[in-house]
Amino acid sequence: MKLQIRNLSKTYSNGVKALDNLSLDIPTGMFGLLGPNGAGKSTLMRTIATLQEADSGSVFLAELDVLKNKMELRKVLGYLPQEFGVYPGATAFSLLNHLAVLKGVIKKSDRKELVNALLERVNLFEKRNKAVSSFSGGMRQRFGIAQALIGDPRLVIVDEPTAGLDPGERNRFYNLLSEIGEQVIVILSTHIVEDVRELCSNMAIINEGQLLYTGSPKDAMQALGGQIWEKTVDKPSLAAYQRAYQVISNKLVAGQPLIHVYSKTDPGNGFESVKASLEDVFFWEMSR
């Protein structure tokens, strides 16, 4: 099964072009969608989820025309937005039960079995009678995955799911998403490079609504092999280095800028060759 996006465009009323003739193929498995804030990731996710209209283009899930058959897509879609509200005081069990009704699970015994199984899967069964509004950020995200899995979806979309999670909750969330991605298409939209490196076998980088790269993270890093160099410099000389070299990133380490530059040959001047990371790939594609 494959999600096929062709020539998708969307311009908002304020003139911002969020999607610019974007074409992309997304296979079964975990697929990372990387880009800075404002790159068009959320617009693409909302369009695929039939929450907003595109100006032009098409989206097909296998043979299903997503943009023309919205209700059919929603039957096989699991969606975890960046932020989602809950009814005040509603317990995990009651809220999942309510959402199962909305998904068409009518028989009470079937709903109970489904809801309990989902809560077990996301390790929240012991918290089933607690209000979701009282959950920690990680617990709420796991609950969000549980609601997204109601109805055995063929396509799951998660938008910035690990923002704000502590390392332990992030690892638990990684494991849960990896398990889900073995059987269905899971689109992980994020600006956190580590999420994609840890989870995804395929990825795309977009910016200003345009596709910059698509392929595997491993291939992307190998393509930059031997072309990334780093050096710690002092702050007053940073601007001079940025003028003299193709600096793709800089960050403060122990108070001093650590710069990464792209060069096919040894730039000399004390630079050391380093193994290209997915972060280097991201900044290289953005710099181009």
Q: What is the pLDDT of residues 50-66, one digit of tens each?
A: 999 999 999 999 999 99
Q: Residue 33, exposed/middle/buried by CB under 10 A (0-12, 13-18, 19+)?
A: buried
The Cα–Cα gap between 283 and 230 comes to: 14
Q: What token pair was written down for 143?
A: 């609950």
CATH number of the domain where residue 140 is located: 3.40.50.300
What average pLDDT does range 24-29 have in this prediction? 95
Query: Do 8 and 90 have their domain in common?
Result: yes
Query: Do 136 and 275 have their domain in common?
Result: no
pLDDT in tens, 224-282: 999 999 999 999 999 999 999 999 999 999 899 999 999 999 999 999 999 999 999 99
What average pLDDT does range 37-59 have in this prediction? 93
Q: Look at residues 110, 102, 8 and name the one whose alpha carbon lies nearest to residue 59.
A: 8
For 202, other C-beta atoms within 10 Å of its C-beta total 18
What dihedral do alpha carbons 76, 62, 218, 19 form, nearest 10°? -80
Query: Do 66 and 107 have their domain in common?
Result: yes
Q: Look at residues 221, 218, 161, 204 and name the one whose alpha carbon lies nearest to residue 39.
A: 204
For the chain, what is the HEC assignment?
CEEEEEEEEEECCCCCEEEEEEEEEEECEEEEEECCCCCCHHHHHHHHCCCCCCCEEEEEECCEECCCCHHHHHHCEEEECCCCCCCCCCEHHHHHHHHHHHCCCCCHHHHHHHHHHHHHHCCCHHHCCCEHHHCCHHHHHHHHHHHHCCCCCCEEEEECCCCCCCHHHHHHHHHHHHHHCCCCEEEEEECCHHHHHHHCCEEEEEECCEEEEEECHHHHHHHCCCCEEEEECCHHHHHHHHHHCCEEEEEEECCEEEEEEECCCCCCCCCEECCCCHHHHHHHHHHC
Question: For the CA atoms of the chain, what is the radius of gyration?
Answer: 21
Query: Do 150 and 241 have their domain in common?
Result: no
Of the candidates 192, 216, 240, which is a domain's last residue?
216
- Residue 122 pLDDT exceeds 90: no
Query: Do 263 and 171 have their domain in common?
Result: no
pLDDT in tens, 95-109: 999 999 988 888 999
Of the candidates 216, 239, 264, which is a domain's last residue?
216
Query: Do 26 and 155 have their domain in common?
Result: yes
Query: Do 168 and 264 have their domain in common?
Result: no
Query: Do 160 and 49 have their domain in common?
Result: yes
pLDDT in tens, 144-198: 888 988 988 999 998 877 777 778 877 887 888 888 888 899 999 888 888 898 8
Of the candidates 216, 243, 262, which is a domain's last residue?
216
- Residue 89 pLDDT exceeds 90: no
For 181, other C-beta atoms within 10 Å of its C-beta total 20
Domain of residue 64 covers 2-216
Query: Do 230 and 250 have their domain in common?
Result: yes
| pLDDT at site 227 | 97
Query: Do 231 and 115 have their domain in common?
Result: no
| pLDDT at site 270 | 95
- Residue 88 pLDDT exceeds 80: no
Query: Do 165 and 83 have their domain in common?
Result: yes
Which amino acid is present at 228?
I
The Cα–Cα gap between 28 and 5 comes to: 14
The Cα–Cα gap between 282 and 288 comes to: 10
Query: Do 136 and 165 have their domain in common?
Result: yes
In which residue are the tokens 């096929």 written? 4
| pLDDT at site 240 | 96
The tally of domains found in the chain comes to 2
